Amino acid sequence: MRLLSLIFLTMLIASCGFQLRGTGGYDLAVESVSIIAANSHSDLADELEDTLKSIGVSVNPGQEAEYVILLGSETTTRRPVATSGNIIVAEYEVKVRAVFSVSAAGGKEIIPDTTLSAERIYSFDSSNFVGNAEEELVLVEEMRQDIAGQLVRRFSATLRNLNSGDAAEDS
């Protein structure tokens, strides 16, 4: 009886069109990009380069490319958001903010200065400083990955809108 119920439930879910979301791949229709970072040792620039290369976009620093991504300031902040009964910090909020803009090879600005951000809250254990520091580093790295993904999705959506506008004008 259980097996029959399980099969029925599976058929019901499959018939309504339900499916898992997948990985949320990027559909950026660009062959080459140049990344210029205000900070030459920017971890976000490295993360963005890895993200772009993973989807088949050639990253050509300082060379001729279809588009130029200019990474401005990147800031990381941390503030306490909760305290324990002993007035000891129990949770911190970590925020990463980055400013970027995108221009076409000819210099036409495609995306003006835009701020992207990510934030996380983590529990703080006052008796484990090393573990807390490691956890914060991991969270900041994950947030940089999130911001790189946000940037690529924003860039892709902007290009789709520009291309659909160009196609409408040609008609």
pLDDT average, residue stretch 39-44: 90
Q: What is the pLDDT of residues 48-84, one digit of tens each?
A: 999 999 999 999 876 688 999 999 999 999 999 999 8
**pTM, rounded to two decimals:** 0.79
Does 61 reside within a domain? yes
Report if residue 66 sits inside a domain.
Answer: yes
Is residue 24 one of the residues assigned to a domain?
Answer: no
Q: Is residue 17 part of a domain?
A: no
Question: At residue 25, does pLDDT exceed 70?
Answer: no
Name the domain count of the chain: 1
Instruction: List the CATH number of the domain containing 77.
Output: 3.30.160.150
Helix (H), strand (E), coil (C) string for 21-66? CCCCCCCCCCCEEEEEECCCCCHHHHHHHHHHHHCCCEECCCCCCC
Q: What is the mean pLDDT of the chain?
A: 87
